[in-house]
Amino acid sequence: MRAHEAGALHGDLGFSGPSWLRTPQDVNALVPQLWPRTVERTAGGEMAVGGVNIRKIAEQHGTPAYVLDEEDFRSRCRAFKEAFGGAEVFYAGKAFIATHIVRILVEEGLSLDVCTGGELAVALRGGMPPERIGLHGNNKSVAELTRAVEAGVGRIIVDSFDEIDRLTTIAKQTGTRPKVMVRVTVGVEAHTHEYIATAHEDQKFGFSLSGGAAAAAVDRIITEQALELRGLHSHIGSQIFDTSGFEVSARRLLQLQAAIHDKHGIELPELDLGGGFGIAYTTQDTPAEPRDLATDLMRIVKQECAALQLSVPHLSIEPGRAIVGPAMFTLYEVGTVKDVDGIRTYVSVDGGMSDNIRTALYDAAYSATLAGRASTEPPILARVVGKHCEAGDIIVKDEFLPADVRAGDLLAVPGTGAYCRSMASNYNHVPRPPVVAVVDGESRVIVRRETEDDLLKLDVG
Ligand SMILES: Cc1ncc(COP(=O)(O)O)c(C=O)c1O
Ligand SMILES: N[C@@H](CCCC[NH3+])C(=O)O
């Protein structure tokens, strides 16, 4: 019998899982909010996605692999686009970007937010029209800015006075007048992990509103005329569930908008409230639907504009996680199962912190399920760990898995579409997994698995 078997043993052995974790009624159940829409368990007990059996995906593409439900991804793009009506939806490429993803975004009518020259290169290679690209970054290089200007990107979100200097020089050299937005630090304490909150005062992003830097940046751009100021921008953080932070942010941005109007006699035509909409990583998370977010955000902006006697600017948002996060899961194979008596069961899989750093970095919670079969065994509390030489190499801190989980089993971890492949590393010289897109009964690789040759090709000598 394994440590922490569910039910009676909970009390007897001391349940060391978090208080929110519930013993599942059915350990094989696929809780809909966690999984891409086409995921199901077949009559035989295996998982399937997009009409393809998970065992077939593992045989064809190997493990570990990120599996993208393409229909799910498209439906989330559409949900945001439809919900936000006239507003422009910039998909945040940092969550996950590949040329195939860019092609889908183009087809679905979304725009794209990039934050480095590398992401810009993928966006252009994937065929995103430059005018639908926005470039972010708190330390964009001269090369990155020049490339963006020469490519004709639709907007550059300026983040510092040094950048305004650089961009002004580039504008003069190239005889252009780049369109810019000013990234404002609105002073909101977003309810999320400290490392992914981006609008409280003490941080590297943006121009401070309360300290006057935001107004000074605006004054300078308007006065110098080298850059075309399109509007104000704020991104308060990531994995945020309630809209109160956006409300404060919108109110403060629009107060600045009103002050600019009073001082310069102009109403900036655009306003961006950023991304950050949360998703479900566990059964306890209840994310908002895009249509509810849209209703709330648009109401807030309209109310504030009415109160300040401003016209409503053209709104844009930048969701990343909420579009791609739930559309992917990671498929692993179990290599070892170890009972540390009276403490917990460790289930080691063939990936780890190199394909999902979020657990180690943010103490993020994830879920997992046995994917290659169903089980009639009772649930046990397990920890899913990777193969890296690091004790903190944890993928899922606490999860109930069937008591007969064993080497050779396939295990799927949902919600890994955002900030997993894009933050993956080669720690311990582990090749990064492929991304396999599944749709209408077909699976195909959209980002191939790294090879040993890939790992060695940068070594000189
Ligand atoms: C400026 C900006 N926009 C959009 C995003 C996307 O955030 P999320 O993936 O949480 O929607 C981020 C990342 O947090 C960001 O820094
Ligand atoms: N990388 C973070 C999100 C923030 C990144 C963009 N500012 C995460 O994995 O949750």
Q: 387 lies in a domain?
A: yes
Residues 313 and 356 in one domain: no
Residue owning the nearest CA to atom 16 of ligand 1: 235
**Does 4 or 236 have the greater pLDDT score?**
236
Position 15 scores a pLDDT of: 54
Q: Of ligand 2's atoms, which has the minimum distance to the CA of residue 193?
A: 10
Q: 364 lies in a domain?
A: yes
Number of other CB atoms surrounding residue 311 within 10 Å: 10
Q: What integer is the mean pLDDT of 225-232?
A: 98
* Integer Cα distance of 378 and 137 in angstroms: 49
Position 12 scores a pLDDT of: 37
Q: 2 lies in a domain?
A: no
Burial class of residue 218 (count of CB atoms within 10 Å of its CB; 0-12, 13-18, 19+): buried
Residues 101 and 139 in one domain: yes
Q: 233 lies in a domain?
A: yes
Position 2 scores a pLDDT of: 43
Q: What integer is the mean pLDDT of 268-273?
A: 98
Q: Of 324, 340, 370, which marks where a domain is finished? A: 324
Residues 155 and 255 in one domain: yes
Residues 82 and 54 in one domain: no
pLDDT, tens digit, for every residue of 57-112? 999 999 999 999 999 999 999 999 999 998 999 999 999 999 999 999 999 999 99
Indicate whether residue 275 lines ligand 1 (CB < 6 A): yes
Residues 314 and 412 in one domain: no
Which of 345, 344, 366, 368 is closest to 357 using CA atoms? 366
The residue to which tokens 């953080």 are assigned: 237
Q: Which position among 77, 115, 305, 389 bears the catalytic label?
A: 389
Q: 1 lies in a domain?
A: no
Position 343 scores a pLDDT of: 86
For CA atoms 188, 189, 191, 196, give the dihedral sign: positive
> For residue 346, what is the enclosing H or E element?
strand 344-349
Position 190 scores a pLDDT of: 72
Residues 279 and 351 in one domain: no
Q: How is residue 146 written in tokens?
A: 């020049």
CATH at residue 447:
2.40.37.10
The number of residues in the chain equals 461
Q: Of 324, 343, 375, which marks where a domain is finished? A: 324
Q: Does residue 239 have a pLDDT over 80?
A: yes
Residues 301 and 409 in one domain: no
Give, for ligand 1, the residue of 235, 253, 273 to mutate: max count of ligand atoms closer than 8 Å to Cβ: 235
Four-point Cα dihedral 181, 185, 190, 196, nearest 10:
80
Residue 390 known to bind ligand = yes
Residue 88 known to bind ligand = no
Query: How close is the Cα of 319 to the center of ligand 2, in Å?
Result: 11
Strand partners, 40: 48
Domain of 336? 8-62+327-456
Strand pairing report for 410-414 and 328-340: antiparallel
For the residues of 59-113, what is the DSSP string, one character each? HHH-SSEEEEEHHHHHHHHHHHHHHTTTSEEEEETTT---HHHHHHHHHHT-EEE
Query: How close is the Cα of 288 to the center of ligand 2, in Å?
Result: 19
Query: How close is the Cα of 320 to the center of ligand 2, in Å?
Result: 9
Q: Of ligand 2's atoms, which has the minimum distance to the CA of residue 418?
A: 9
Q: Which ipTM value was assigned to this complex?
A: 0.98
Strand pairing report for 314-317 and 344-349: unpaired
Q: Does residue 316 have a pLDDT over 90?
A: yes
Indicate whether residue 113 lines ligand 1 (CB < 6 A): yes
Report yes or no: 124 and 150 within 8 Å, Cβ to Cβ. Answer: no
Model's pTM, two decimal places? Answer: 0.95
Indicate whether residue 238 lines ligand 2 (CB < 6 A): yes
Query: How close is the Cα of 93 to the center of ligand 1, in Å?
Result: 9
Specify the long-range contacts of residues 290-295, CB closer than 8 Å, at least 24 apart.
290/76, 290/79, 290/80, 290/82, 290/83, 290/84, 290/322, 291/79, 291/82, 291/83, 293/83, 293/243, 294/80, 294/83, 294/84, 294/85, 294/87
Residue owning the nearest CA to atom 1 of ligand 1: 235
Q: What integer is the mean pLDDT of 42-52?
A: 98
Indicate whether residue 419 lines ligand 2 (CB < 6 A): yes
Q: Of ligand 2's atoms, which has the minimum distance to the CA of residue 422?
A: 1
Residues 335 and 315 in one domain: no
For the residues of 395-417, what is the DSSP string, one character each? EEEEEEEETT--TT-EEEEES-T
Q: Of 271, 305, 324, which marks where a domain is finished? A: 324
For 48, how many CA atoms within 13 A lie in the half-sphere containing its CB?
14
Q: In 139-153, which positions are buried (b, 16+ CB within 10 angstroms) versus exposed (e)?
A: ebeeebbbbbbeeeb
* Integer Cα distance of 108 and 82 in angstroms: 11
Indicate whether residue 239 lines ligand 2 (CB < 6 A): yes
Q: How does DSSP classify residue 131? A: G
CATH at residue 199:
3.20.20.10
Q: What integer is the mean pLDDT of 274-288?
A: 94
Q: Of ligand 2's atoms, which has the minimum distance to the CA of residue 235?
A: 7
Position 214 scores a pLDDT of: 98
Report yes or no: 150 and 170 within 8 Å, Cβ to Cβ. Answer: no
Residue owning the nearest CA to atom 5 of ligand 2: 196
77 is catalytic: no
Q: Does residue 135 have a pLDDT over 50?
A: yes
Q: What integer is the mean pLDDT of 4-8?
A: 38
Tell me the percentage of the chain whose pLDDT exceeds 70.
95
Mean of all residue pLDDT scores within the chain: 94
Tell me the percentage of the chain whose pLDDT exceeds 90.
89
Q: 278 lies in a domain?
A: yes
Ligand with smallest separation from the Cα of 424:
2
For the chain, what is the domain count? Answer: 2
Residue owning the nearest CA to atom 1 of ligand 2: 419
pLDDT, tens digit, for every residue of 350-394? 999 999 999 999 999 999 999 999 999 999 999 999 999 999 999
Residues 119 and 185 in one domain: yes
Residue 419 known to bind ligand = yes
Q: Given 3-state DSSP classes, what are the helix, strand and coil percentages for the chain, each rounded to the nearest 5?
A: 35, 25, 45
> For residue 385, what is the enclosing H or E element?
strand 379-385
Ligand with smallest separation from the Cα of 356:
2
Q: Of ligand 1's atoms, which has the minimum distance to the CA of residue 419?
A: 9
* Integer Cα distance of 33 and 27 in angstroms: 16
Query: How close is the Cα of 84 to the center of ligand 1, in Å?
Result: 17
pLDDT, tens digit, for every residue of 82-91? 999 989 999 9
Indicate whether residue 416 lines ligand 2 (CB < 6 A): no
Give, for ligand 1, the residue of 156, 272, 321 to mutate: max count of ligand atoms closer than 8 Å to Cβ: 321
Q: 3 lies in a domain?
A: no
Q: How does DSSP classify residue 196? A: G
In 145-287, the DSSP E strands lie at 155-158, 179-185, 207-208, 228-233, 270-272
Residue 211 known to bind ligand = no
The residue to which tokens 């930048």 are assigned: 318
Residue 17 amino acid letter: G
- At residue 189 the predicted structure's pLDDT band, cuts being 50, 70 and 90, is confident
Report yes or no: 355 and 424 within 8 Å, Cβ to Cβ. Answer: yes
Ligand with smallest separation from the Cα of 323:
1
Residue 320 known to bind ligand = yes
Query: How close is the Cα of 420 to the center of ligand 1, in Å?
Result: 14
Q: What integer is the mean pLDDT of 226-239?
A: 96
Which of 114, 32, 102, 52 is closest to 73 using CA atoms? 102
Indicate whether residue 92 lines ligand 1 (CB < 6 A): yes
pLDDT, tens digit, for every residue of 161-174? 999 999 999 999 99
Residue owning the nearest CA to atom 8 of ligand 1: 276
Ligand with smallest separation from the Cα of 114:
1
